[in-house]
Structure 1
Amino acid sequence: MRYDPSRPAGRLLLTPEDKEAPARTRRLGELGLGERPEPELDAYAGRLAELTGVPYAMVNFIDEHRQFFAGLHRSQGAPRVVRADGTTAVLGRELARDHGFCPHVVVRRKALVLEDVRDYPRFAGNPVVDEFGIHSYLGAPLIDSTGMTLGTLCVADTQPRPWGRSGLETIKSSAAELVTRLERRETDGLPLL
């Protein structure tokens, strides 16, 4: 099944309720995460983008009001979407909480694989599909040792992608590794990379 924008229900957004958002916001504050870009996290996202061969990779922290990409990789060849009004859409450091697929990963607390988001009515109407041309997504939660889901590690492409089991294992193991590094930075003051 493909997304059909001409159908009345085609634009229904079903962002899940996030009851942990206030506690997550406090935890992110304790860790000093989600308020500024971090070069080490940009580098981590860059390595993940190279490993998976995608134009976009993000380390995304989600608080009560927004999503913040403290780690962001946009390849120089990343497509730019021209909107109907002639302006160009470029993925920045922030997204609204109801944009993208990471809020679903955070609430579900497990990885999400969307080989072609247009195949899923729940996701096809998401603004990132039209705003940035995102057609494929792979993301895993960043769950720390307290059990708190801090955000996500994710990759996205403007083309459908068969992620397969290897893609799923890559994103899950990379997310687990990043959480370990974030916690070592907190406890031992060690650098992320």
Structure 2
Amino acid sequence: MTALQFSGDLEVPQTIWSIDDLGLRDMSGQGSLQYITRLARRVFSVNTALIAVVEDGVERQLLVSGLGLPEAWERSGALPLSKSFSQFVLRDGSTLAVEDKDNHPLGPALRDREELPYHAYLGAPIFAPTGEVLGVLCVIDEAPRPWCDEDLAVMEDLAHCVTDALALRSALLTRQDLQREVEQTLDQTRRRAALRDSIVAAFTEPDRTSEQRLQAMLAAGCEALNMTAAAVTRVDGSHALILAQHDMRGEATAPIERDSTGSLTAHLLSGQEIVWFNDAAEAGLADRPAFDGKPPSGFIGAPLVLEGLAYGTLEFVASDAAQSDALEQDGALVRMIAMFIVTQLEVFSQIDRLKYSESALLQYILDLRAEM
């Protein structure tokens, strides 16, 4: 975006607003400002009236609205500041009246003064909603003419109307931004509620194995997070075993066991914190594969800690980065899924311990029989 500020010898005050933010780059869409320009031309009985704003880093004023403009100005859509008295209005932030450019003290500072298609100038500053000088409303006359105090007062009132119109536009844009944020929050709330319901269903529906419950949670997570595939892994040293996985595309599953060296799986366990990105190179994780052995376009994952020890990982991948443009906000969803998965893994752990105990007991009985 182009900031509405000017960094040149004139030292025009800088502002956080932008030409593109306020929609000021296209003259064809300035209905309300065109009305003010038309009124200024009628009030002062001149042929040319215009509204211009300062463009960032460029020694020129961008024409926002104008009537009776010279053909060359209208065609270019801009005018160099060095050819206009507007540079002094922007510099000083005050109204300027020039009866005749050839006899005014500031006239010699204008470039190509002799070639300019006007003699008289009257301009007032317009301001951004945050108070910075943003541009100028001005009228020009081909012939010299005097300006009275009433003329200056009327021009300032019209400039205030432009400032108010821009403030209203800014408020509407801000309201639209807030509305989008509210809609995004509501959408996230709905997705969390749907995910919670799916997780509860995975835990409460009868006749489901532990593996089926894990897969149900992964499927719900993919849908809620708008991701392509997901998996739960068990890591032992450099080996990663996939306990459960889900693929929204219905593609064949990845190998059940693989080497996790240099992978996102190993990265998750080493950092012991949630990781998300839309750009692997920007995140410093380029070429690191996820659980499926492929570097993902979008990724969000969390380490799984069981009984105080690193157990494995929960990983979600997206084949298209655009699918996962709110990964940071979705971190809470992944933490929720990870919490329920750890609960389910505790069941696995208890079963493993029970199987080990049964095996040990059976071996003890066999050893006793052998000694008898």
Matched residue, 1:44:
36
CA distance change for structure 1 residues 24 and 95 in 2, over 3 Å: closer, same or farther?
A: farther
Structure with max Cα Rg: 2
Q: Is the 8 A contact 2:97 2:122 kept in 1?
A: yes
For 1:128 and 1:101, the matched residues in 2 are separated by 12
Please give the secondary structure, in 2, of the residue aligned with 1:134. Answer: coil
Please give the secondary structure, in 1, of the residue aligned with 2:123. Answer: strand
Matched residue, 2:131:
147
Alignment of 1:1-193 (within 5 A): 17-20=10-13, 23-24=14-15, 26-33=17-24, 35-37=25-27, 38-40=29-31, 41-63=33-55, 64-65=57-58, 66-74=60-68, 90-92=72-74, 93-124=77-108, 126-127=110-111, 129-188=113-172
CA distance change for structure 1 residues 129 and 73 in 2, over 3 Å: closer, same or farther?
A: farther
Matched residue, 1:9:
none
Q: Is the 8 A contact 1:57 1:155 kept in 2?
A: yes
CA distance change for structure 1 residues 24 and 32 in 2, over 3 Å: closer, same or farther?
A: farther
1:129 deviation in Å?
3.9
Q: Is the 8 A contact 1:62 1:103 kept in 2?
A: no
For 1:42 and 1:131, the matched residues in 2 are separated by 27
1:116 deviation in Å?
1.2
For 1:45 and 1:19, the matched residues in 2 are separated by 23
Please give the secondary structure, in 2, of the residue aligned with 1:185. Answer: helix
For 1:153 and 1:114, the matched residues in 2 are separated by 14
RMSD over aligned Cα atoms:
2.4
> Greater shift after overlay, 150-159 or 91-100?
91-100
Identity percentage of aligned residues: 24
Q: Is the 8 A contact 1:140 1:171 kept in 2?
A: yes
For 1:128 and 1:154, the matched residues in 2 are separated by 19
For 1:129 and 1:158, the matched residues in 2 are separated by 13
For 1:104 and 1:16, the matched residues in 2 are separated by 11
Please give the secondary structure, in 2, of the residue aligned with 1:46. Answer: helix
Q: Is the 8 A contact 1:43 1:71 kept in 2?
A: no
1:36 deviation in Å?
1.6
Q: Which digits, 9 at most, give the CA deviation of each residue in 1:38-67, with x for residues without a partner? A: 341333212210111011101011113121
1:24 deviation in Å?
4.0
1:125 deviation in Å?
5.7
Q: Is the 8 A contact 2:83 2:116 kept in 1?
A: no
For 1:175 and 1:32, the matched residues in 2 are separated by 18
CA distance change for structure 1 residues 131 and 24 in 2, over 3 Å: closer, same or farther?
A: farther
For 2:131 and 2:158, the matched residues in 1 are separated by 17
CA distance change for structure 1 residues 186 and 26 in 2, over 3 Å: closer, same or farther?
A: closer
For 2:41 and 2:140, the matched residues in 1 are separated by 9
Q: Which digits, 9 at most, give the CA deviation of each residue in 1:4-31, with x for residues without a partner? A: xxxxxxxxxxx952253xx348433432
CA distance change for structure 1 residues 143 and 25 in 2, over 3 Å: closer, same or farther?
A: same
Q: Which digits, 9 at most, give the CA deviation of each residue in 1:141-193, with x for residues without a partner? A: 0023312111000000011111101110011010011111111122136xxxx
Count of residue pairs the alignment pairs up: 160
**Runs of 5+ unmatched residues, structure 1:** 1-14, 81-88
CA distance change for structure 1 residues 39 and 184 in 2, over 3 Å: closer, same or farther?
A: closer
| Structure with greater helix percent | 2
For 2:83 and 2:62, the matched residues in 1 are separated by 12
